[in-house]
Structure 1
Amino acid sequence: MKYLPFIAIAMSLLSCSQQQEASSAATSTSPLTGTWKLLSAKSIQGKDTTITAPVAGQETIKIFNDSYFAFFTHDLNHGADSTATYGSGSGTYTLVKDVYSEHLEYCSYRGWENKDFSFVMQVSKDTITQSGIEKIDSLNINHEIVETYVRIR
């Protein structure tokens, strides 16, 4: 009987340890987690291809955690001249094999908010390539994009 409290404590600690291991096993880290800098981008509409990045004097980064993404574009002159620009957005995403789907919840271009997009995402070491269709009927947007990012963090 005098060992009963010690057995109860040991069983309680063992139970907590097993719950923590199960919780850790259920959480997986996305290969996208981190900060990525846009190296190049193009928009393809019909037979026309437009290079949309890099743009002199601008920089774009995209940040991922396990379920959310955010992107930011800004001019490198801190808004001090006619090249001033700023754009951002964020939302949720899923990555299943190479199918990357995002729901854009917030965007400085408000017509893009609450839209869903599906892309092919190729992850190769410190580089990702995202390609697919962006289509928003209300904005008359229907083009293919190809974006290449390099990991910076």
Structure 2
Amino acid sequence: MNLHTNLMKIVTPFIVAAALLTSCGNNATTKTETKEDKPPIEGTWQLISGTLTEKKNTVVTDYTKDQKAIKIINGDHFCFLIHDLTKGKGAKPNFSSGGGKYTLVGDKYTEYLEFCNDRQWENNKFDFTITIKNDTLTQQGIEKIDSLGVNRINIEKYVRVKSN
């Protein structure tokens, strides 16, 4: 046996081991985010119904009739869009939008409204409790803006919008 053959017998197992260790390490560090990694609140939600209770008056709105509303929630921001289905030409033309940052700790969801077509609502904080069951998100909390005389309980029910 010559020196070259002996050296190859000694070095080859180390090269193979190093290659295996390197490839295992790369797999562990190059993990890509999947849908399962995202919090369940993230996504697009269609508003189905809203219940507002102020003083002793309760108003329930069916958002599946004559209008459509969605809420989009990503890692740190939310936005909502509402419009009538008559393109503003019906008896009750409507377009509303807003958004901002949010925090979620357990089931405590807080919206910090930074943008709103009704500018008086901007720069207010709204605390909600959320529940998610299957593809249904329910958020309930108090909307209070002293300067506008708003102090009401708001309960909204959403269903997840399926992606194509």
Q: What's the TM-score once normalised by structure 1's chain length?
A: 0.80
Q: What is aligned with 2:3?
A: none
The partner residue of 1:146 within 138, 145, 155 is: 155
The runs of at least 4 consecutive aligned structure 1 residues that moved more than 2 Å come to 13-21, 52-56, 80-83
The partner residue of 2:132 within 119, 123, 126 is: 123
Task: Tell me the SS of whatever aligns to 1:70.
Answer: strand
Task: Tell me the SS of whatever aligns to 1:84.
Answer: coil
Task: Tell me the SS of whatever aligns to 1:30.
Answer: coil
2:76 is equivalent to residue 67 of structure 1? yes
Alpha-carbon contact 1:38-1:60 (below 8 Å) kept:
yes
2:39 is equivalent to residue 38 of structure 1? no
Amino acid across the alignment from 1:51: V
Task: Tell me the SS of whatever aligns to 2:51.
Answer: strand
Q: Tell me how far apart the structure 1 counterparts of residues 63 and 44 of structure 2 sit (CA, whole Å).
A: 17
**Superimposed CA distance per residue, residues 41-100 of structure 1 (whole angstroms, 9 cap, x where no aligned partner):** 111123221113337311111111111111000010112233221000011111111100
The partner residue of 1:105 within 100, 114, 127 is: 114
Q: CA RMSD in A?
A: 2.8
Identical amino acids, percent of aligned pairs? 41
Q: Summarize the Cα distance change of 1:98–1:70 in structure 2 as closer, same or farther, 3 Å threshold.
A: same
Task: Tell me the SS of whatever aligns to 2:147.
Answer: helix
Which one is further off, 69-78 or 47-56?
47-56
Alpha-carbon contact 2:86-2:93 (below 8 Å) kept:
yes
Task: Tell me the SS of whatever aligns to 1:138.
Answer: helix
Q: Tell me how far apart the structure 1 counterparts of residues 145 and 25 of structure 2 sit (CA, whole Å).
A: 51
Q: Tell me how far apart the structure 1 counterparts of residues 149 and 64 of structure 2 sit (CA, whole Å).
A: 24
How many equivalent pairs are there? 148
Q: Compute the displacement of 1:34 (Å).
A: 1.2
> Which structure would you say has the larger Rg?
2
2:93 is equivalent to residue 84 of structure 1? yes
Q: Compute the displacement of 1:16 (Å).
A: 8.0
Q: Compute the displacement of 1:20 (Å).
A: 5.2
Gaps of 5+ in 1: 1-9
Amino acid across the alignment from 2:108: V
